[in-house]
Amino acid sequence: MSEAKVLTPVQTPETGGRQTPQPCAMVIFGASGDLTERKLVPALYYLSRAKLLPDGFSVIGCAKTQYNNDSFRAKMQEGVKKYLNVSSSDNPILDAFTRDIHYIADDFGDPAAYGQLKDLLDKLDRERGTGGNRLFYLATPPSFFPIIVNHLGAVGLAQPKELGKNWTHIVIEKPFGRDLDSARELNRIVTSVFKEDQIYRIDHYLGKETVQNLLVFRFGNGIFEPFWNRRYIDHVQITVAEEIGVENRGAYYEEAGLVRDMIQNHVLSLLSLIAMEPPAIFNATAVRDEKSKVMRAVRPIDLDHLAEAAVRGQYVEGWCNGERMPAYRSEPKVSPQSTTETFAALKLYIDNWRWADVPFYVRSGKRLPKRVSEINIRFRPAPHLLFKGTSTTEIRGNHLSIHIQPNEGMSLRFNAKIPATTMQIRPVTMEFRYEDAFGHAVPTTAYETLLLDCMVGDSMLFTRADFVDLAWELITPLLDRWQEDGRKGMSFYEAGTWGPPEADAFIDRDGRKWQEL
Ligand code: BG6
């Protein structure tokens, strides 16, 4: 079964003008969970090894599980070894890194634990020179977000220790709310304790190299913009597929489902970057303004013709890589009658001059045949078939595939003459692979960039409140409708297949096909 990406830490310190963060302490709430072990601590280790963390940088893990500093450090070391390619010669670096990790057992509701946290942060300021700079990271189940935020406010940890001299930032994991009302309520609570410029709503897809490169590809090159519109583009497909099931996250997933977990955030972020107008300048406000404008233009999903707009599915038993996989309903902490979707496909339209009537087909699912995220831009065919009377009967439109992960890169398919004395045409592909162009694969998990960004106060790759709100405005009516419908309209697919047959029929109906991946 495919695991989180295995990384090779950089061999030499990274350069390139990145601003080094000021010394600071990072507090991770939910430190015994999957995200901390799998992504956050490996990302921090990667940064530490690349010498990108500030002097004195320290981590405090907070969670319910009863660890002490030593047992928590040991668990974090295990995680780093499991998720990164760490050789034995790295052990001293890993030891030094984990020495600066501390642990506080806390059920998130006990004011005394926040007092203890405050004392430890003050101690780190004195002993490690963290200077009163604090980064709080909420990696707990979403229901704890308001509780933690309120406690941080009550104990006086929400504001910089000395205004103007140091900073306090808070990172909030997704999903930010579970529908429009709860997202607005959470936003109200968070903004009553923290100011907007202290808040970093994270969507780790925005930190992926290939996703950041979408902006450079579109706006750092002069030749693509003229055909990036309805005149030349027939439709766009966005696929975010995973081979893994829900693993040990059944309880969370039952509450969330695929659309809340992947589409409301990651997939809509990709869509906004593909569809946005060029910002006037490259800063957080300008880029986020343009992303929000796209979301504002997405046509509401037509619930009166739901089958044409959306498909939902759930996996049943099947085979993945020669292994028999259980049905979603047999996964731990999942109801045997669950109607939670593990697959969804939507057809979205963006009602503006650039994209009017161009469908954006998006799909995402768990237990699909492989882990692959890809954006396909399908261009219209040549307007006039010139090569009639030759053995070529059909000339297909060009398409650009943006490989977000794995095999990061892009490929452009166009038609070429087969070398021969006859006129025969077939599609060929021009490729850009990170590995070939830069001599190594994309090295990071996305969290590295994002963690540094929120330490230096750069919010460009984080989601602003208005985007979250607009995304929920789009998605909530659909989720409400599915909730009302229960089992009605739910399709099933065997684990290890590309979703329910209805997902193929969904796009076939428009005379199109999903990209083979
Ligand atoms: C997370 C979802 O946000 O993204 C997970 O909660 C999912 O369910 C993960 O597995 C996928 O991230 P990546 O970076 O592995 O594609």
- Kindly give, in sequence order, each residue whose CB lies less than 8 Å from that of residue 45, ignoring residues fewer than 6 positions away: 9, 80, 84, 94, 97
What type of residue sits at position 276? M
Q: Which atom of ligand 1 is nearest to the CA of 242?
A: 10
What's the distance, Cα to Cα, between the start and end of the chain in Å? 18
Give residue 12 CA to ligand 1 midpoint distance, Å. Answer: 28
What local confidence, expressed as pLDDT, does residue 394 receive? Answer: 67
| Domain region containing 110 | 25-173
Closest CA to 423 of 386, 458, 448: 386
Distance, in Å, from the CA atom of 321 to the CA atom of 324, rounded to the nearest integer, reads 8
Classify residue 20: in a domain, yes or no.
Answer: no
Is the separation of the CB atoms in 418 and 424 below 8 Å? yes
Instruction: Report residue 423's pLDDT band, with 50, 70 and 90 as the boundaries.
Output: confident
pTM for the model stands at 0.93
- Kindly give, in sequence order, each residue whose CB lies less than 8 Å from that of residue 382, ignoring residues fewer than 6 positions away: 395, 397
pLDDT tens-digit series, residues 367-378: 999 999 999 999
Q: Which two tokens stand for residue 282?
A: 């490259």
Give residue 250 CA to ligand 1 midpoint distance, Å. Answer: 14
Q: What is the dihedral of CA 428, 430, 436, 442, to 10 degrees?
A: -110
Classify residue 233: in a domain, yes or no.
Answer: yes
> Considering only CA atoms, which residue is closest to atom 9 of ligand 1?
262
- Kindly give, in sequence order, each residue whose CB lies less than 8 Å from that of residue 253, ignoring residues fewer than 6 positions away: 246, 261, 334, 340, 342
What's the Cα-to-Cα distance from 205 to each of 241, 301, 450, rounded to whole Å? 13, 24, 10
Classify residue 326: in a domain, yes or no.
Answer: yes
Classify residue 251: in a domain, yes or no.
Answer: yes
Residues with CB under 6 A from ligand 1: 204, 242, 261
pLDDT tens-digit series, residues 293-329: 999 999 999 999 999 999 999 999 999 888 999 999 9
Instruction: Report residue 14's pLDDT band, with 50, 70 and 90 as the boundaries.
Output: low
* Whether pLDDT at 15 is above 70: no
In the DSSP assignment, the letter for residue 64 is S
What local confidence, expressed as pLDDT, does residue 441 receive? Answer: 78
Give residue 179 CA to ligand 1 midpoint distance, Å. Answer: 19
Same domain for 115 and 255, yes or no, is no
Higher per-residue pLDDT: 383 or 448: 448
Classify residue 12: in a domain, yes or no.
Answer: no
Whether 266 is a known active-site residue: answer: yes
* Whether pLDDT at 30 is above 80: yes
What local confidence, expressed as pLDDT, does residue 393 receive? Answer: 59
CA gyration radius, the chain? 24
Same domain for 277 and 161, yes or no, is no
Distance, in Å, from the CA atom of 271 to the CA atom of 363, rounded to the nearest integer, reads 12
* Whether pLDDT at 4 is above 50: no
Same domain for 153 and 241, yes or no, is no
Domain boundary at 149, 173, 197, which?
A: 173
What local confidence, expressed as pLDDT, does residue 12 receive? Answer: 41
Classify residue 159: in a domain, yes or no.
Answer: yes
Same domain for 153 and 256, yes or no, is no
Q: Among 11-25, 278-292, 318-332, 370-384, which is the least confidently predicted range?
A: 11-25
> Considering only CA atoms, which residue is closest to atom 5 of ligand 1?
261
* Whether pLDDT at 5 is above 90: no
Is the separation of the CB atoms in 346 and 313 below 8 Å? no
What local confidence, expressed as pLDDT, does residue 11 receive? Answer: 37
Give residue 455 CA to ligand 1 midpoint distance, Å. Answer: 23
What local confidence, expressed as pLDDT, does residue 6 receive? Answer: 43
Give residue 219 CA to ligand 1 midpoint distance, Å. Answer: 27
Q: Which atom of ligand 1 is nearest to the CA of 246?
A: 8
Same domain for 276 and 215, yes or no, is yes
- Kindly give, in sequence order, each residue whose CB lies less than 8 Å from that of residue 61, ignoring residues fewer than 6 positions away: 28, 31, 32, 36, 67, 72, 76, 101, 102, 103, 104
Same domain for 324 and 281, yes or no, is yes
Q: Which atom of ligand 1 is nearest to the CA of 4?
A: 15
Same domain for 259 and 338, yes or no, is yes
Which of 204, 270, 374 should be mutated for ligand 1, with most atoms under 8 A from CB? 204
> Considering only CA atoms, which residue is closest to atom 8 of ligand 1?
261
Classify residue 86: in a domain, yes or no.
Answer: yes
> Considering only CA atoms, which residue is closest to atom 4 of ligand 1?
262
Distance, in Å, from the CA atom of 155 to the CA atom of 22, rounded to the nearest integer, reads 24
In the DSSP assignment, the letter for residue 251 is H
Is the separation of the CB atoms in 369 and 496 below 8 Å? yes
Domain boundary at 156, 173, 190, which?
A: 173
Is the separation of the CB atoms in 338 and 486 below 8 Å? no
* Whether pLDDT at 485 is above 60: yes
Distance, in Å, from the CA atom of 166 to the CA atom of 157, rounded to the nearest integer, reads 12
Instruction: Report residue 75's pLDDT band, with 50, 70 and 90 as the boundaries.
Output: very high
Is the separation of the CB atoms in 74 and 94 below 8 Å? no
Same domain for 378 and 484, yes or no, is yes
What local confidence, expressed as pLDDT, does residue 462 receive? Answer: 96
Classify residue 128: in a domain, yes or no.
Answer: yes
Active-site residue, from 151, 169, 235, 266? 266
* Whether pLDDT at 3 is above 50: no
Q: Among 96-110, 119-133, 436-450, 489-503, which is the least confidently predicted range?
A: 436-450
Same domain for 241 and 144, yes or no, is no
What local confidence, expressed as pLDDT, does residue 391 receive? Answer: 66
* Overall average pLDDT of the 394-420 stretch: 92
Percent of the chain whose pLDDT exceeds 70: 95
Same domain for 141 and 253, yes or no, is no
* Overall average pLDDT of the 68-79 stretch: 95
Which of 246, 261, 405, 407 should be mutated for ligand 1, with most atoms under 8 A from CB? 261
| CATH number of the domain where residue 419 is located | 3.30.360.10
| CATH number of the domain where residue 62 is located | 3.40.50.720
Same domain for 440 and 337, yes or no, is yes
Number of independent structural domains in the chain: 2
Higher per-residue pLDDT: 91 or 442: 91
Same domain for 492 and 377, yes or no, is yes
